Structure 1
Amino acid sequence: MQWWSRLRWEAAAIRRSALRAVRGPGSERNTLVQSLKAAAAAVLAWAVTGWWWGAPMALMAPWAAVALVQSTVYRSLVSAVQQVAVIGFGAVLAAGAAAATGNTTVAMALVLPVTVLLGNWTRFGTQGLYAPTTALFVLAYGSTSFADVAHRLLETLIGALIGIGVNALVLPPVHLKDVRAHLDRLPRETAELLRAMASGMEHGYERADAERWYDRARSLHATIAALHEARGWTRESYRFNPGRRLRRRGPALPPSERDSAWERATHHLMSLTRLLADAAGGSPSLRPPHSDALEPLGEVLRRAAEVCVPEPVPVTVPAPGPGGTGTQERRADALPDAWGAHGRLKALVTSEDPETATSLGGVVAETQQLLYALEPGGTPS
């Protein structure tokens, strides 16, 4: 019965994957919805051109429709223009070469280098591939007359209109959840890193600890890059999207004012952890700070972790009661304590020898810039 247990395990894994696709993060759910919409658009395009109209090459319509259910309505429109242009060019060029040479093989030898070169032109993106494939269809099927070429273009245009229509009118994609997810992730993971660093200061850290902190800071920098990309997708998904005004439920898109502050905070965290790593180990390039500096440094980092809370998000529903401001109040209380500990840390610089003061001064500078970036309003560095 081992095979039966294995089969049940595989079935359960498939079921979990399907549930994650339906109930999971926005990107997975959007992929599922867009895939189903593309399939529906292709079936509809075939029904119109192949079943109802009886077009001679009805394949062109679903072929175009399935490719034009893009991740945003704007991208569908741009891709449609590109696709119709390259398909028209490939069809006309193939028909002209066939008429001039009277030989399919010779016509292919003349047309394909040009259309493949066009297909690799970055201006047309992924739609460039349709130039050589359309030329192959035209030459292979011998549909090189003016009427045949006109049919190809009309079938493509019908499929493009159906693909755009389905994408714009059936659950038009609006990418908001990825931005919110990254903005929630940044303060949470930054606070976790700061608490880990503060804990490491209690009994003295080692170089391996600082290297791990540096790797975690670099992952935060990758999250910043993903946040910028997500905002770009969101702005694009709003363009020419008739469904934008229909999606008023829940939080609106968080403002972008704090993005640059989080980017600066992440940059200073990377610099701080790199400096701590260089000032530790068997042969450090910097003299490590004395143990009496680790206590106020740990306090700065611990209080800075309390400052890292998600930004309040504008909502379209009534605001929460008085209890909803508790997190912001704790943040306001933590800031003065963080600056107080930073003042004690800064005062130690003048009492150190020049070598130790060099490394400690770097730590003081980076933590000061970090606290400024974490303040509400994100004072520029």
Structure 2
Amino acid sequence: MTDARNRWAAPFGWIARAFRVPGEERRNLVQTTKAAVAAVLAWIVATSVLELPQPFLAPYAAVFLVQATVYRSLRGWAQQVGAVSVGVLLAAGAGQVIPSVTVALGLVVFTGLLVGSWRGFGDSGVWIGVTGMLLISYGSATEPILLADRLLETALGAAIGAVLNAVVLPPLHGERLRAATSRLASAIADVLDETAALVRGGEPPEAADRLHDRMRDVRSLVAEAEDAIDWTREGRYLNLRGRRETREEPLANLVTLWPPLAQLIDAVSEAARSEQPFRHPGEYARGVVGELLEALAAVTRSGDPQRLDRCRELVGEIDHLLVTPTDEVTTSIGLGAMALPARRLVQRLHAD
């Protein structure tokens, strides 16, 4: 009963979040509304202003040009108009020289889809074959006026969709960036805390296996972060609201932590599982490394660069242990294998 109520309430919860939170739900609602408005405007202009007969391509093109970024809308306009133009020319040529509609249809679709596979047309390449097919099947391929109408209504609808998307609340992707930053920072900090516990000896060696599972989760979040950065950069391009977009530098800096973090986990796991030459160093040295990792976790969570001072002090203490052997540092190779990626983590956090 509870599950059924939750399913019925889900759409209302989605709408409530769209109005309450400036997140993905609101962006989707705005884009959907703009697509509907663009379709209506394209239909009104095509029918009432230009008085085009059966201008079904105008609203169709308008809807597809309200895309996720302004750049994609403007690029899509050029690609779509180009694709439809080629489709119209193919249909006109086939209609003039091939008397059989069946043969002309097959040839136009084949040629159109083949030409449309060129990457310069992007996702609009399929329109070459589709436009030619529609014109041939409707018997419009031999009527120049109708061919011109199809091209005009497509250009009109695409232009309305692209302009509306660029002028009215052009889409940004800052919430995706903020969410990816929060998830990745939290995951890296958790892994650093777990690694610190393993270094100190508070976890069994089997914990290294669980740590590697967590690292696969982090790697997935890194891929998500890279995708969010790409969307944010593209969304800012040619966008009238681009200056208001969230900066991607903090997330990009977190992404750079992945290689040294993976190296650190490998060094700690090897030390926890095996004997020489990567045996754990003595208790005091393990405590210093553990404290460093916990401090790095705190910096990652808070984003406070002032906490890095303590991290640098601990890195200096590890360096001192490496060059000043004591009875506790039984294996300097193992400590050195942990120290190098830990140092790189401090350096990359400091670069932010």
Query: TM bucket by the smaller chain?
Result: 0.7 to 0.9
How far is 1:368 from its partner? 2.1
Q: C-alpha offsets along residues 257-296 of structure 1, whole Å, 9 cap, x if unaligned?
A: x566434422111111122223334x67964314524322
The answer for the alignment partner of 2:310 in structure 1 is 334
| Residues 255 and 168 (structure 1), Cα distance of their counterparts in 2 relative to 1, 3 Å cut | closer
| Residues 298 and 239 (structure 1), Cα distance of their counterparts in 2 relative to 1, 3 Å cut | closer
Q: C-alpha offsets along residues 232-263 of structure 1, whole Å, 9 cap, x if unaligned?
A: 33332233333446x5xxxx63263x566434
Contact 1:70–1:167, Cα closer than 8 Å, also in 2: yes
Match for residue 13 of structure 1 among 5, 10, 13: 10
| 4+ long deviations beyond 6 Å | none
The answer for the alignment partner of 1:371 in structure 2 is 346
One-letter identity of the residue aligned with 1:368: R
The answer for the alignment partner of 1:279 in structure 2 is 271
Where do 5+ consecutive residues of structure 1 fail to align?
A: 312-326
Secondary structure in structure 2 of the residue aligned to 1:308: helix
One-letter identity of the residue aligned with 1:274: D
CA distance in 2, matches of 1:24, 1:213: 35
Where do 5+ consecutive residues of structure 2 fail to align?
A: none
Secondary structure in structure 2 of the residue aligned to 1:289: coil
The answer for the alignment partner of 1:346 in structure 2 is 322
The answer for the alignment partner of 1:38 in structure 2 is 35
TM-score, structure 1 as length reference: 0.80
Q: How many residues align?
A: 350
How far is 1:337 from its partner? 4.4
CA distance in 2, matches of 1:332, 1:301: 11
How far is 1:53 from its partner? 4.1
Contact 1:184–1:310, Cα closer than 8 Å, also in 2: no
| Residues 284 and 138 (structure 1), Cα distance of their counterparts in 2 relative to 1, 3 Å cut | farther
CA distance in 1, matches of 2:40, 2:97: 37
RMSD over equivalenced CA pairs, Å: 3.0
Contact 1:68–1:80, Cα closer than 8 Å, also in 2: yes
1:132-211 to structure 2, matched below 5 A, reads 132-144=129-141, 145-211=143-209
CA distance in 2, matches of 1:9, 1:179: 29
Contact 1:300–1:342, Cα closer than 8 Å, also in 2: no
How far is 1:119 from its partner? 2.6
Moved more, 66-75 or 182-191: 182-191
The answer for the alignment partner of 1:47 in structure 2 is 44
Q: C-alpha offsets along residues 288-318 of structure 1, whole Å, 9 cap, x if unaligned?
A: 314524322212212222332555xxxxxxx
The answer for the alignment partner of 1:254 in structure 2 is 247
Q: C-alpha offsets along residues 45-92 of structure 1, whole Å, 9 cap, x if unaligned?
A: 122223554422311101110010111122111111110111111121
Moved more, 23-32 or 123-132: 23-32
User: Kindly, what percent of the aligned residue pairs are identical?
Assistant: 35
TM-score, structure 2 as length reference: 0.86
CA distance in 2, matches of 1:285, 1:149: 79
Contact 1:169–1:243, Cα closer than 8 Å, also in 2: no
Secondary structure in structure 1 of the residue aligned to 2:272: coil
CA distance in 1, matches of 2:212, 2:278: 19
